[in-house]
Structure 1
Amino acid sequence: MTRRHRYPVRVRWISTAVIGILVIALVAASAVSVVAVPRQVSVLPAASVDSIDDADVPDAVLASRTLFDSAPVAVVVAQSADSSTTADAADLAIDNRVPMFRIAPDTAEAVSTELRRLGVARAVRVGDDVGDLGVAVTDDPSALAGEAAAGKGTGAIVLVSAAGPDAIATAKASGAATVAMPAPDPRVSGEAIRLLKERPDAPVRVFGAGFGDRAQVMRRIELARTVPELPGGGQVMFPGRRVIALYGSPGAPELGPVGRQSIPASIARVKKLAARYDRLSPVPVVPGFEIIVSVASAAPGPSGDYSSVLDVDAVRPWVDAARKAGVYVTLDLQPGRMDFLTQAKMFRDLLRQPHVGLALDPEWRLKPNQVHLTQIGSVAPAEVNRTSSWLADLVAKHRLPQKAFVLHQFDADMLGDRSKIDTRRDELAFVIHADGHGIPSVKMFTWNRIVEGLPSRTWLGWKNFFTEDKPMFSPKRTMRVAPTPWFISYQ
């Protein structure tokens, strides 16, 4: 087995573009029609929401129009208010089951129109002045006492993404079971999945940018109700979790920390490491193993491929124990002169498990007549695409949650023309993983170079080396890398 020889690196994430707001009501097993209204609003059924003519309707106004017939009182707060004041306003609206609106110069007119539609006689202000809204405004919360709004969210499930706290509070105040999610996909939230499974006949309304058309939302809700969940909950890898993984191969301590202790000790070690990040990460942290299942070798071996493939039965105890412990597993391939797809298929049985993803390590993908440590390996985008397509088909066929598909890189040529890597398959979370060692300035130089020109729909990963980084980044410093990596491994 060879000792890994590394150079510097870095990685990136793709933020979700905000492209309007979508409202969808889905009623299980019912025939529905779609009415298109401005801001890409689709309504199922049409009678459940008023038509919207203003293309710039604020989120909370749209939520109010959807979920309230009338309200004699509403809660208002200046959009410039701090988070504590805004939270107080939200609590007041939810407790009294009335709509809430944040007021800014560009939203005041739309809010004022909605207040008239609702029949609001007075608005209760929390915090600073909000200007003229066309109704009486008071800062006395007792004005809410005894007033009853006609909310129509009772019995509904409302999923919210990329919407303001006033829209979320309004949805909750309507009586709807409301889940705020980090991305516009029902599968990203374990709480959303629980509600969808427990209440299959409930109407579902989805607020937020980027959910897609009706067909896509209906398909994802159906998957949410039927597909198993990932460690940490949900069925989509990111941005609902951050993975902190130990790297290496069982029984090979020179390749990384995975091989330096027993399975129970490895689980305890990675959980302790993940806990250090849990205090720093705004999303839940999931412990992980990145297990090298085919190891680059100095000798050609019986097959002449310069790669030693582990027996599946040697890896299975690690995968099984990880599942029970809530640890995500990524199988790492160092294929030598063999192609990635051929080796990936050898581990089909393990990859059929919901908590197991796949990593390709192009440094160790040799061309004919190349040998390890003499040349740095590389892989053509076409081979990456064949492998990702096969894995995505496996996910779809066996109704699995999304899998991490990790591409290691520290050299510009290792992945060829990355614009030719097809990242469209929704079954996979594509991760470009900055895989190198060195002093901080060298690591950051490589990171910054790799981040430029990433394919769309790509998340970023980062590796820390216990002995070869001088010094190794602490969790706090790692989380300060920009953009913040989502898959962080230790070798």
Structure 2
Amino acid sequence: MRYKHTLLIAATLGIFTLGCSQNSGKAGDKTKNEKQAAEGADSTSSETSSAYKPVDTAAYNQKIKDLANGDTSGYWPVKKQPYPLPGAILPFKRIIAYYGNLYSKRMGVLGEYPPNEMLSRLDKEVKHWEKADPKTPVQPALHYIAVVAQGDGGKDGKYRFRMPDKQIDSVLKIAKKREAIVFLDIQVALSDIRTELPLLEKYLKLPHVHLGIDPEFSMKTGAKPGTRIGTYDAADINYCSEFLAKLVKENNLPPKVFTVHRFTRKMVTNSQNIKLRPEVQIVMHMDGWGEPELKKGTYRHWIYPEPVQFTGFKLFYKNDLKKAPNRMMTPEELLKLKPQPIYIQYQ
């Protein structure tokens, strides 16, 4: 499903029905969860700048327990995860992000409105979340698609378009108006993450710039983006995490937040092998659109039973309204989920 303009394709195919809301979606076994968590515990801390406040481990433990929201399955909170380095955002703040691309008004709210109007709308969402959960401060964010899957193969036939530096610089300037952090999102299409990620290194060296990757547009079969749903393996996610950890250690940065989009099982394979590190905070982000029950079903089947570290949830100003009851989920509803998402993205 492509947009009609000549450059960019849709940034999401939405929740394909595929039985998501009806699928029994058996949760992964506890042994796999414990193995994954134990792997994370192998990580060791590294030195960071004293400019960042050390993590209060007791407060951290309490907060991840609170995010589990009374879950008794044994999945949440993730056990034996490493404590983050000083300056960690999660789980102490909830990230509220606006998503999109400056070239397109149809890929998300970030590019749909002039910057000041967009920021004003973001302010309202921030206030809503502060009211819904006054115990958790809000960190505003702009989540910018820096490498965009497209319908045109381009000169190299990779079906992706890299945003010019001036566009990324513009997003950084806009974000500064609200002291917002920035996520650079990568849709590799027929390229690969090992080629695309290093090209953004100079931006990821900045303390307020973080990373998102989108398996939906990782087309390992050679299919054109937008015709099928792509995939990443734990090995790809571990490559990104290791890349980020290296930047954190070499540049004395606070931990990077790393979001991975997901709305089907096959979008992320071997999740039990994802390695946790004190330099990186991983968010498995429920990225599908649809009516509230369908969205909750997707979260329950693909995010809840395969715990990694933290979770996210995406809301669509337009696509979530396409079917009855024709409304978006509210912060109050999302806070009832197990676990509670700590990263919320609006498109």
TM-score bucket of the superposed structures, by smaller chain: 0.7 to 0.9
Query: What is the match of residue 346 of structure 2?
Result: 490
Q: How many Å apart are 1:462 and its aligned residue?
A: 0.1
Check whether the contact 2:288–2:314 (CA below 8 A) recurs between aligned residues.
yes
Q: How many Å apart are 1:295 and its aligned residue?
A: 1.0
Q: How many Å apart are 1:272 and its aligned residue?
A: 2.0
Query: What is the match of residue 278 of structure 2?
Result: 426
Q: How many Å apart are 1:427 and its aligned residue?
A: 0.6
- Partner amino acid, structure 2, of 1:454: E
1:2 aligns with 2:19: no
What aligned pairs does 1:112-131 form with structure 2 within 5 A after superposition? none
1:305 aligns with 2:140: no
Query: What is the match of residue 251 of structure 1?
Result: 103
Percent of aligned pairs sharing the same letter = 28
Q: TM-score, normalised by structure 2?
A: 0.75
> Structure 2 residue aligned with 1:402, among 255, 261, 264?
255
Give the number of the structure whose alpha-carbon radius of gyration is greater.
Answer: 1
> Structure 2 residue aligned with 1:321, among 156, 174, 188?
174
The CA RMSD measured in Å over matched residues stands at: 2.6
Instruction: Give the whole-Å Cα distance in 1 for the aligned partners of 2:274 and 2:211.
Output: 16
Q: How many Å apart are 1:321 and its aligned residue?
A: 3.3
Q: How many Å apart are 1:182 and its aligned residue?
A: 4.2
Deviation digits for residues 419-471 of structure 1 (CA, Å, limit 9, x no counterpart): 12222x11111000001011122111111012344344x10000011111132
Query: What is the match of residue 115 of structure 1?
Result: none
SS of the equivalent of 2:282 reads: strand
Deviation digits for residues 170-197 of structure 1 (CA, Å, limit 9, x no counterpart): xxxxxxxxxxx44489xxxxxxxxxxxx
Q: Describe the shift of the 1:369–1:341 C-alpha distance in structure 2 as closer, same or farther (beyond 3 A).
A: closer
1:236 aligns with 2:88: yes
Query: What is the match of residue 323 of structure 2?
Result: none
- Partner amino acid, structure 2, of 1:362: P
Unaligned ranges ≥5, structure 2: 1-7, 22-32, 38-53, 64-79, 321-325
Query: What is the match of residue 278 of structure 1?
Result: 130
Instruction: Give the whole-Å Cα distance in 1 for the aligned partners of 2:197 and 2:177.
Output: 24
> Structure 1 residue aligned with 2:310, among 433, 446, 459?
459
Q: Describe the shift of the 1:184–1:448 C-alpha distance in structure 2 as closer, same or farther (beyond 3 A).
A: closer
Q: Describe the shift of the 1:160–1:444 C-alpha distance in structure 2 as closer, same or farther (beyond 3 A).
A: closer
- Partner amino acid, structure 2, of 1:7: I
Q: Describe the shift of the 1:472–1:184 C-alpha distance in structure 2 as closer, same or farther (beyond 3 A).
A: closer
Check whether the contact 1:421–1:455 (CA below 8 A) recurs between aligned residues.
no
Deviation digits for residues 125-153 of structure 1 (CA, Å, limit 9, x no counterpart): xxxxxxxxxxxxxxxxxxxxxxxxxxxxx
SS of the equivalent of 1:393 reads: helix
What aligned pairs does 1:15-414 form with structure 2 within 5 A after superposition? 162=58, 181-183=59-61, 224=86, 235-281=87-133, 282-414=135-267
Query: What is the match of residue 439 of structure 1?
Result: 291
Q: TM-score, normalised by structure 1?
A: 0.54
Q: Describe the shift of the 1:324–1:401 C-alpha distance in structure 2 as closer, same or farther (beyond 3 A).
A: farther
Higher strand share: 1
Paired positions, count: 283
Unaligned ranges ≥5, structure 1: 18-157, 163-180, 186-211, 225-234
